[in-house]
């Protein structure tokens, strides 16, 4: 009986989480007369059409917001690793009584509402020529992703025994050689997790994007604009494509989306 209740709970949770995606598919591939043009839209497929996608991609700009979101997300992920790896490694080699307060201080930045921070940043970015640019938006989003990446990487490097480093030094490896040839390959699951978390946050980020990049919007902002203008079919078509890179990247790196990696630990 207990096993049955567990399965029922899993099924109900799956329905709860997958139902919005089902509605998105319904809007994208059903004729409008069965969905948005009805007072009571059908909740099942009565007919299938690709006309909604053809109409949306033909009449509205999709490519530029999509490419901008893609470039920003990859830049955010790369910057998070370039800055987070040395920061995480340095913190992992400090005593816990020093590294822990520093990590807490870094994570406190995530508690500040993005809207409060984005407005003064936009003023400075206008002066620096970074407003409405890919690097400017990536730098702003690093305020959120870099502390998370550093937290994951600090835990990852802390889980690697110091004896490995001592043995490499005894065998004549330089610091750079140990770092590149030994430490980074061992820490690759944690590094992949940090990149994936940073990438996914940037891909879905809205607050900084709508304030710092209003002229050439990213895809989430473009979807929002279409919704506010009543272009529901275009918004649903863009939303459908918007989910594809997340699904592909998640499937590609799913083995790293485990508790021990996301909390910074690695398997021995």
Residue pair 229/188 in contact by the 8 Å Cβ criterion: no
pLDDT in tens, 190-222: 898 899 889 988 998 988 898 888 888 998 998
3-state helix, strand and coil shares in percent for the chain, rounded to the nearest 5:
80, 0, 20
Dihedral of CA 9/12/15/20: which sign?
negative
- Residue 5 CA to residue 256 CA, distance in Å, equals 30
Residue pair 134/71 in contact by the 8 Å Cβ criterion: yes
Q: What is the pLDDT of residue 25?
A: 87
Region 54-261: CATH code: 1.10.3720.10
pTM of the model: 0.82
Given a cut of 80, whether residue 181 has pLDDT beyond it is yes
- Enumerate the domain spans of the chain: 1-48, 54-261
Q: At what angle do helices 134-158 and 188-204 cross, to 10 degrees?
A: 150
pLDDT in tens, 101-151: 888 888 887 777 777 788 888 888 888 888 889 999 999 999 889 999 999
Average the pLDDT over 48-64 and give the result.
Answer: 84
- Residue 42 CA to residue 51 CA, distance in Å, equals 18
Q: What is the pLDDT of residue 265?
A: 52
């Amino acid at each position: 009986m207990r096993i049955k209740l567990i399965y029922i709970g899993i099924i109900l949770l799956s329905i709860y989480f997958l139902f919005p995606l089902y509605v998105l598919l319904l809007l994208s591939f059903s004729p409008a007369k069965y969905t948005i043009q009805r007072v009571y839209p059908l909740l099942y497929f009565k007919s299938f059409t690709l006309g909604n996608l053809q109409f949306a991609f033909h009449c509205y700009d999709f490519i530029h917001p999509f490419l901008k979101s893609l470039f920003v997300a990859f830049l955010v992920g790369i910057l998070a690793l370039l800055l987070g790896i040395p920061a995480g490694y340095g913190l992992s080699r400090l005593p816990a009584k020093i590294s822990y307060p520093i990590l807490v201080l870094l994570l406190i930045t995530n508690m500040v509402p993005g809207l409060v921070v984005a407005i003064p940043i936009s003023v400075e970015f206008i002066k620096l020529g970074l407003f409405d640019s890919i690097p400017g938006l990536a730098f702003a989003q690093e305020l959120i992703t870099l502390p998370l990446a550093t937290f994951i990487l600090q835990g990852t490097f802390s889980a690697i025994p110091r004896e490995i480093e001592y043995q490499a030094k005894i065998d004549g490896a330089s610091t750079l050689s140990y770092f590149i040839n030994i430490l980074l390959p061992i820490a690759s699951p944690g590094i992949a997790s940090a990149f994936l978390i940073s990438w996914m946050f940037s891909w879905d980020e809205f607050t900084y994007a709508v304030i710092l990049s209003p002229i050439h919007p990213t895809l989430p902002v473009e979807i929002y604009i279409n919704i506010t203008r009543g272009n529901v079919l275009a918004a649903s078509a863009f939303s459908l494509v918007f989910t594809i890179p997340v699904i592909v990247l998640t499937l590609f790196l799913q083995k790293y989306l485990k508790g021990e990696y996301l909390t910074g630990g690695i398997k021995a």
